[in-house]
Structure 1
Amino acid sequence: GFYLALFLLLVGLIMRGIAFEYRSKDASPKWRNTFDWMIAIGSFLSALLLGAAFANLARGVPIDENMMFTGNLFTLLNPYGLLGGVTTVVIFLLHGANFLGLKLEGELRERVNGFAKKLWVTASVLYIILAVFTYIAGFWARGVINPGFVPVAAVAVLLATGYFLNNKMEGWAFIIVALNIVLTQVTFFSMIFPNVMISSTNPAYSLTIYNASSSQYTLTVMSIVALIFVPIVLAYQGWTYYMFRKRISADKKSLVY
């Protein structure tokens, strides 16, 4: 079940990568429309499955005494999992719309800003519903009445996004939604810690950071690799965004740096 879900997620990511690479190889409208659809489908599939996976991990999945997942793909695509998936899709769309608002000018910027406002309303409603169900399934079910500051802050910053969108402050809107995504992840990992995968069959069958971790040698090597290469990747991405920081319009001359 999880293998198939992860496989489909990777298919979506690969589809996006291929589409971005080949879309500009031909100016034909049919050619570009095909790859536009590939980008849309790949992005939707990846975001949906990622959100569904995290939602299921927060609530718990069927794991037996051998620490093996006993469900299938449709076990993960339950109403709560789909709610998590759809919410993730909409929030990612909002994040992308805010980025477009940073990059565009003129009529295109106005259209994107209007679309982002509608997405913000939808994202806020879905996120609050998901937060309530997650509180019931994740915190309250485990006897935790007070979820703490972080999940409340995650909801608050998402609601605050509307203020920045209404004032056409796309930069702040982009930062705030990014902060919401970070706070959501912090909430998720703090909620399930020290578990990695919670067993809905029996809590004793859950995978934890202790019984599911790699060897000391593997963890050491991967930590060193991450400490070296993650900053390089982040620096490269930051440099790329800085180099292409200029706003663009429908005028082809705006593409010249």
Structure 2
Amino acid sequence: MELHDVWFVLIAVLWTGYFFLEGFDFGVGILTGLLARDRAEKRVLINTIGPVWDGNEVWLLSAGGATFAAFPEWYATLFSGFYLPLLLILVCLIVRGVAFEYRAKRPEESWQRNWETAIFWTSLIPAFLWGVAFGNIVHGVKIDKSFEYVGDLGDLLNPYAILGGLVTLTLFTFHGTVFVGLKTVGDIRERARGLSLRVGLVTAVLALVFLVWTQVDNGDGKSLVAMAVAVAALVAALVAARAGREGWAFALSGLTIVAAVAMLFLTLFPNVMPSSLNEDWSLTVTNASSSPYTLRIMTWCAGIATPIVLLYQGWTYWVFRKRIGTHHIAADIAH
């Protein structure tokens, strides 16, 4: 296997990790507007991801940085062609981080309510736009012979990409509901379980249509196996959620995300960004990659740093593994 193939796989792993981890905290952010009934419950939801949300975003930085270094042509075409949606995602992530930190800085109800509204929308919008972006990457966009994107914003809002956005939105919300069920106690835990079943059924329908569409367009035997794993894991997650097995439900919803993202990258390879104008103008792992020397240096750095990051993040989740409920929220900050 050539180094550019290795780095394609590593970038796929980084995006998978990002969607697995950021997926549930996007879901929790959305649930602050759907599940929480009062200020104390909103605080409980925010506290479930409070120690980890910023660490989850490290995976996005790593994926973006690895793409820039390993496949500069891919990075340049992607970030110039998808400039507006990616800028909107970036703005949402900035505002979202500020909202988490500033929400409890003042006691006024209007102040806290406004930041809570910001958390909801800045979780929902990226959850949708990431699906739109990856839908376009897999389906193909207007790239000319100079490897430049020549379409417009309207071209990105095609039916396949919009369906992809709805899938990531509902899947991340479902992932968030089972995470809340795993991390909370009391009435909010029971309501999260009930909501997970309703959201999960909608997710299953949308995801099945999207994955079958993807398989028919670009799939092969390997992507078919990944699709089967994703569908089976989602069904099993619903069964586990219904049975009140939150740990299994969360693991299986995570497996759904892992298998679905794997399917997308399997259908994409050896392209990194297909051209819908001419197949010969597509960006591939070969014509979009850095020099072999650059890839060798990156491989050594990644081999040293990655285990350290994984150990630290795993330790963080272990330290903050306990459930919380409204009785853990002090009366003076619950309102």
Q: Please say whether Structure 1 and Structure 2 have the same fold, judged by a TM-score greater than 0.5.
A: yes
The residue type paired with residue 23 of structure 1 is R
Aligned residue in 1 for 2:160: 80
User: Runs of 5+ in structure 2 lacking a partner?
Assistant: 1-80, 331-335
- Identity, in percent, stands at 44
Match of 2:19 in 1: none
1:244 CA drift (Å): 1.6
C-alpha distance in structure 1 between counterparts of 2:301 and 2:90, whole Å: 23
Q: Find the partner of 1:54 among 134, 141, 151.
A: 134
Aligned counterparts of 1:119 and 1:56: Cα–Cα separation in 2: 25
Structure-2 separation of matches of 1:206 and 1:46: 26
Question: For the structure 1 residues 134 and 23, does the alpha-carbon distance in structure 2 shift closer, same or farther, using more than 3 Å as the test?
Answer: same
SS in 2 for 1:148: helix
The equivalent position to 1:200 in structure 2, one of 276, 290, 302, is 276
User: 2:49 maps to what in 1?
Assistant: none
Structure 1 CA distance, aligned partners of 2:95 and 2:305?
25
SS at match of 2:272: strand
Q: Distance in 2 between matches of 1:234 and 1:31?
A: 36
Alpha-carbon offset, residue 122 of structure 1: 0.8
Is residue 215–residue 224 contact of structure 2 (8 Å, CA) maintained in 1?
A: no
2 CA distance for matches of 1:148 and 1:72?
Answer: 32
Equivalent-residue separation in structure 2 for 1:209 and 1:105 (angstroms)? 47
Aligned ranges for residues 153-192 of structure 1 at < 5 Å? 153-192=229-268
Instruction: Give the structure-1-normalised TM-score.
Output: 0.91
SS of the counterpart of 1:196?
strand
Give the match for residue 191 of structure 2. 111
Partner secondary structure for residue 248 of structure 1: coil
Correspondence for 2:285 among 194, 205, 209: 209
Counterpart residue number, 1:36: 116
1:92 is aligned to: 172
Matched, 1:244 2:320: yes
* Shift, 1:235, TM fit: 2.1
Report the CA distance shift for 1:203/1:123 in structure 2 as closer, same or farther (over 3 A): same
1:65 aligns with 2:145: yes
Give deviations 1:130-175, integer Å, cap 9, x for gaps: 1122123223xxxx58853111111111111111011111111111
Q: Which residue of 2 aligns with 1:11?
A: 91
Give the Cα–Cα distance (whole angstroms) in 2 for the partners of residues 235 and 18 of structure 1: 27
Cα offsets for 1:34-61 (capped at 9, x unmatched): 1111111111121211111111111111
**196-205 or 145-154: bigger deviation:** 145-154
2:309 alignment counterpart: 233
In 2, Cα distance between the equivalents of 1:214 and 1:4?
Answer: 26
Residue 28 of structure 1 aligns with an amino acid whose one-letter code is E
Q: TM-score, normalised by structure 2?
A: 0.71
Tell me the CA shift for residue 240 of structure 1: 1.8
Q: Which moved more, 1:12-21 or 1:217-226?
A: 217-226
Count how many residue pairs are aligned between Structure 1 and Structure 2: 251
Distance in structure 1 (CA, Å) of the matches to 2:217 and 2:108: 50
Report how far residue 188 of structure 1 moved. 1.1
Report the secondary structure of 2:326's partner residue. Answer: coil
CA RMSD of aligned residues (A): 1.9
**Distance in 1 separating the partners of 2:232 and 2:171:** 14
Q: Which structure's relative contact order is higher, taking Cα pairs within 8 Å and 6+ residues apart?
A: 2
- Note if 1:128 corresponds to 2:208: yes
